Homo-oligomer: A and B are copies of this chain.
Amino acid sequence: MHPLKTRQPYPRNQWWAAAYASEVGRQLLGRTILGDRIILYRTESGEAVALSGLCPHRAFPLEKGCLAGDRVRCGYHGFTFSSTGALEEVPSQTAIPAKADLRRFPVAERGGVVWIWTGAETLADETLLPDMAALGPANPDWATEQHIPATIAARYTLLIDNLLDLSHASFIHADTIPGGDYVASLPVELVETPASLNVRRIGRGLPSNPFFKLMFPHHEGPLDQAFDAEYFGPHLIRTGGALFDSAGGARLGTQNYLHIITPETPGSLHYFVVTSRDFATGNPALGRTHVDMGLRIQPQDKAAIEAIEQVLQGLSHPPREVSARCDTGALKVRHRLESQIRAEEQAA
């Protein structure tokens, strides 16, 4: 992706996934998000906390410190902070220096993910969080798998580009996505709403195969399969979608692949993949298959966009870029993202 035509590389008034909920516990977890070091942990009552991750005393990374009850103690000289970030204790003196508090990030847990708000705290609005119940992970009637998180040495926009043009499945994933070879040849439909932009493809009359059989053991005939790529924001893209009986048109079920993206630095990103379905929810073999497939598919995308990132870093000018019709969705998304960032820049 060309560099965005904005000054900031990413929007800050945004909920971003900081970690899976299961990663956050009674140990300090350090993570770099939007270029800032952050620490994550849970209080004794279980509440997730996100604080800036550098001690204001001598810039020591707080993730190397420890928890003392609900408080964070720096591992270098013992400065100790409350779970709201307030400096509360300095060894060998009783006075507390002023302006020494840690920044506290608004936190919300949804669908097994700890989301943090990286912008102005007054603008943090939980209604802007993704609807993880509708998407599956926060709905107890769906079966959900969290794939191992990855850090990718590429700007986050390259992963958005990747996901919004699923024709790549026919080439990069030809050997790892059953039916992927159909994707590039399918016509594309754009569905745009204020909340999302969906690049839709539907494969029709796909003959049965072992993967379909695993999903729908009692279905014999061909299927219609959605290959959606729905952008909800730079933090979340949904692929997959509904599967139908080609004969009667009945929906057999919905299989969502949620791609949760968080910029780590201007040139790297955190990638959380969550798969969720509303059928065969009691079949653990299907869940394992999704995770196993992810272990083969995600490294292919990682390798592809890391190769492009290396190309971009080696160039003094952005490369020329030729687009095809099937890039329309990706280009519109790029425009949405630039508008979001530019609105922030103008408000600032």
Residues of A within 8 A of B (CB): 1, 35, 37, 54, 56-61, 64-65, 73-79, 87, 90-93, 95, 97, 99-100, 161, 165, 167-168, 170-172, 184-188, 304, 307-308, 311-312, 314, 319-326
A37-B311, A74-B171 given as contacts; is B186 within 8 A of A92 (CB)?
yes
Are the C-beta atoms of B325 and A95 separated by less than 8 Å?
yes
Interface SS of chain A: helix, strand, loop or mixed?
A: loop
Known interface pairs A78-B184, A161-B58, A165-B77; A90-B171 also in contact (CB < 8 Å): no
Determine whether the beta carbon of A90 is less than 8 Å from that of B324.
yes
Determine whether the beta carbon of B61 is less than 8 Å from that of A307: yes
Chain B residues whose CB sits within 8 angstroms of the CB of A61 once the complex forms: 307-308, 311
Given contacts A64-B307, A77-B171, A311-B59, contact A324 B93 (CB under 8 A): yes
B residues near A312, Cβ cutoff 8 Å: 59
Q: Which residue of B lies closest to A75 (CB)?
A: B171
- State in angstroms the CA–CA spacing of A1 and B95 once bound together: 22
Q: Is the CB of B184 within 8 A of A321?
A: no
A37-B311, A91-B185, A92-B188 known; A320 vs B56 contact (CB < 8 Å): yes
A76 engages B185 (CB within 8 Å): no
Contact of A326 among B93, B99, B172, B185 (CB under 8 A): B93
Q: List the B residue with the shortest CB-CB distance to A93.
A: B325
List B contacts of A93 (CB < 8 A): 324-326
Query: Roughly how many angstroms separate A308 CA and B76 CA in the complex, as a whole number?
Result: 10
The distance from the CB of A155 to the nearest CB of chain B, in whole angstroms, is: 12
| Contact (Cβ within 8 A) A168 B321 | no
Do B167 and A326 have beta carbons less than 8 Å apart?
no
Verify A78–B323 contact, CB threshold 8 A.
no
CA distance A323 to B1 in the complex (A): 44
A92 near B322 with CB under 8 A, answer no
Given contacts A97-B322, A99-B322, A324-B97, contact A91 B170 (CB under 8 A): yes
**B76–A171 touching, CB < 8 Å:** yes
Minimum C-beta distance from A301 to chain B (A): 10
Contact A187 B77 (CB under 8 A): no
Q: What are the residues of chain B within 8 A of A187 when measuring CB–CB?
A: 92
Which among B59, B87, B304 is the interface contact of A60 at CB below 8 angstroms?
Answer: B304
Q: Residues of B contacting A185 with CB < 8 Å? A: 91-92
Q: CB-CB < 8 A to A167: which residues of B? A: 77-78, 91-92
A57 nearest CB across to chain B (Å): 5
A171 CA to B167 CA in the complex, in Å? 54
A97 to B87, CA, bound (A): 60
Contact check, A54 vs B184: say whether CB atoms are below 8 A apart. no
Complex Cα gap A161–B60 (Å): 12
Alpha-carbon separation in the docked complex, A54 to B311 (Å): 9
Chain B residues with Cβ below 8 Å from A59 are 308, 311-312, 319, 321
Minimum CB distance partner of A65 in chain B: B171
B321 touching A77 by the CB < 8 A rule?
A: no
Tell me the complex Cα distance, A188–B77, Å. 15
Alpha-carbon distance between A97 and B327 when the two chains are bound, in angstroms: 12
